[in-house]
Amino acid sequence: MSPLNIVVGITGGIAAYKAVGVVRALVLAGHDVHVVPTEGALRFVGRPTLEAISRNPVHTDLYEGVAEVRHVAIGQAADLIVIAPATANTIAKLATGLADDLLGNTVLASEAPVVIAPAMHTEMWRHPATQANVATLRSRGVTIVGPAVGQLTGADSGPGRMEEPEVIAAAALERAAASARRDLAGRRVVVTAGGTREPLDPVRFLGNRSSGKQGVAIAEAARARGAEVTLIAANLEIAAPEGCDIRRVSTALELQQAVTDAAKGADVVVMAAAVADYRPADVSESKLKKDEGDGGMTLELVRNPDILAGLGGAPHDGTLLMGFAAETEPDDDRLLALGRAKLEAKGADLIVINRVGWHEGFASDENRVVVIGRDGEIVTRAHGTKASVADDILDVVVSESTTAASAADTTKEHEPTT
- How far is it, in rounded angstroms, from Cα 337 to Cα 160? 38
Tell the smallest beta-carbon distance from residue 342 to ligand CTP (Å).
Answer: 5
Tell the smallest beta-carbon distance from residue 375 to ligand CTP (Å).
Answer: 19
Is the CB of 104 or the CB of 323 nearer to ligand CTP?
323
Q: For residue 217, give the amino acid letter.
A: A
Burial of 404 from C-beta contacts in 10 A (0-12 / 13-18 / 19+): middle
Please give the DSSP secondary-structure letter assigned to residue 148: E
Tell the smallest beta-carbon distance from residue 175 to ligand CTP (Å).
Answer: 26
Is-catalytic flag, 367?
A: no
Is the CB of 32 or the CB of 254 nearer to ligand CTP?
254
Tell the smallest beta-carbon distance from residue 75 to ligand CTP (Å).
Answer: 40
The DSSP annotation for 204-270 comes to EEE-----SHHHHHHHHHHHHTT-EEEEEEES-SSPPPTTSEEEEE-SHHHHHHHHHHHHTT-SEEE
Q: Is the peptide bond before 147 cis (omega within 30 degrees of 0)?
A: yes
The DSSP annotation for 332-400 comes to HHHHHHHHHHHHHHHT-SEEEEEE--SSSSSS-SEEEEEEE-TTS-EEEEEEEEHHHHHHHHHHHHHHH
Is the CB of 328 or the CB of 406 nearer to ligand CTP?
328
Of 5, 89, 105, 208, which one is the catalytic site residue?
208
Tell the smallest beta-carbon distance from residue 411 to ligand CTP (Å).
Answer: 28
Is the CB of 85 or the CB of 312 nearer to ligand CTP?
312
Tell the smallest beta-carbon distance from residue 326 to ligand CTP (Å).
Answer: 4
- How far is it, in rounded angstroms, from Cα 82 to Cα 35? 10
- How far is it, in rounded angstroms, from Cα 338 to Cα 357? 15
Tell the smallest beta-carbon distance from residue 308 to ligand CTP (Å).
Answer: 3
Please check whether residue 348 is in contact with residue 377, taking contact to mean a CB–CB distance below 8 angstroms: no
- Count of residues for the chain? 418
Sign of the CA dihedral with 65 first, then 33, 3, and 172 last = negative
Is the CB of 6 or the CB of 351 nearer to ligand CTP?
351
- How far is it, in rounded angstroms, from Cα 197 to Cα 327? 19
Nearest-10 crossing angle of helices 165-181, 386-414 = 30
Residues in the site for ligand CTP, rule: CB under 6 A?
252, 271, 273-275, 277, 304, 306-308, 323-326, 342, 346
- How far is it, in rounded angstroms, from Cα 5 to Cα 81? 9
Phi then psi for residue 196, to 5 deg, are -75, 160
Is the CB of 306 or the CB of 360 nearer to ligand CTP?
306
So which residues are the catalytic ones? 208
